[in-house]
Amino acid sequence: MSDGPHVIVFANEKGGTGKSTTAVHVAVALAVKGARVACLDLDHRQRTMGRYLDNRETSAKRTGAQLAIPRHATTDGRGDGNFADLFHEMAEGADYLVIDTPGRDDVAGRTAAALANTLVTPMNDSFVDFDLIGQVDPDTFSVTRPSFYSEMIWNARKARAKADGTTIDWVVLRNRLQHIGARNMRRVSDALEQLAKRVGFRIIPGLTERVIYRELFPSGLTMLDSKEFGQMGLAHVAARQELREMMAALALPEPAQPSEPAQPAAA
């Protein structure tokens, strides 16, 4: 990894795609490995990532659990301070900077996307979510054109490559995949493959729809905190495995030098 953190930005202008939950799990998974991880939540209204990590700190203090906790801050990037200053502050000394953007068009979110090394766009397995990145023919379901959002990312990637030679790795992450509606799944898959060839993103599987993810939020735990669950059921084991597979598929670079594991919050 070169100087400065590897910036991982989670961006989708539509809500309800599991963006914040996925961002937290990625951040904690990296911290558990011993990386120095900082998190920046740009959605000051919902503040899901910030609240999740606040809950994690509270749980560590209450129970004395040895939880890896990334350093984190929340801002709207405008009225709540200067985005550039906070970006550099959080990036200082970090191996990875994980940024969660609002589920809407937002100036700070677009700025963050342009600064990404890895840009992750989570989406549910439907043409409602696909519409964010591309349009399809209603009869054949073939891609007719990229969306405004895809064009924006395309232009950001070209500008970044021209500015400093960095290639933004754009990853479309398919969350909440289900085995029902197999025909629709095939159609979405085919459309994604078509669009990926045109605008240059990778497609990887994400986290499926599981009640356990919603239940973990109040405690701030993740699927990697198995010691805190007591007895683990099959759903826990399956969820932990899909998280590991997602992390492998993201193919993030390793830190230049191993760091000490993140320290738990003080009891």
Residue 148 forms part of a structural domain? yes
Contact 91, 97 (CB under 8 A): yes
d(CA 94, CA 2): 12
pLDDT at 84: 85
Average confidence (pLDDT) over 81-99: 90
- Residue 242 falls inside a structural domain: yes
Query: Residue 266: inside a domain, yes or no?
Result: no
Average pLDDT, the chain: 87
Containing H/E element for 98?
strand 96-100
Model confidence band, residue 70 (pLDDT cutoffs 50, 70, 90): very high
With vertex at residue 170, the alpha carbon angle to CA 86 and CA 118, rounded to the nearest 5 degrees, is: 40
Q: Over the stretch 7-24, which tens digit does the pLDDT of each residue have?
A: 999 999 887 888 999 999
Residue 259 lies in a domain: no
State the pLDDT at residue 265: 44
Which residues is 171 bridged to in the sheet?
Answer: 120, 202
* Whole-number pLDDT of residue 3: 75
Dump pLDDT digits (tens) for 204-223: 998 887 778 888 899 999 98
Does any domain span residue 183? yes
Largest CA distance in the chain: 60
Sorted by sequence, the CB contacts under 8 Å of residue 2 that are 6+ apart come out as: 256
Whether 263 is covered by a domain: the verdict is no
Element (H or E) spanning 192, and its range? Answer: helix 182-199
Side-chain-facing half-sphere of 23: CA atoms under 13 Å: 35
CATH number at residue 213: 3.40.50.300
Q: Measured between alpha carbons, how far is residue 115 from residues 70, 151, 201 in Å?
A: 20, 16, 17
CA distances from 176 to 22, 52, 74, 208, 209 (A): 11, 20, 26, 4, 4
In a domain, 115, yes or no: yes
In a domain, 201, yes or no: yes
Q: In this predicted model, what pLDDT tens digit does every residue of 93-102 receive, in sequence order?
A: 999 999 999 8
Residue-range definition of the domain harbouring residue 196: 6-250
| Average pLDDT, integer, range 221-248 | 83
For residues 232 and 27, the answer to whether their CB atoms sit within 8 Å is: no
How confident is the model over 233-241, as a mean pLDDT? 82
Q: What is the mean pLDDT of residues 76-96?
A: 81
Q: Please report the pLDDT score of residue 77 as a whole number.
A: 56
| Total domains, the chain | 1
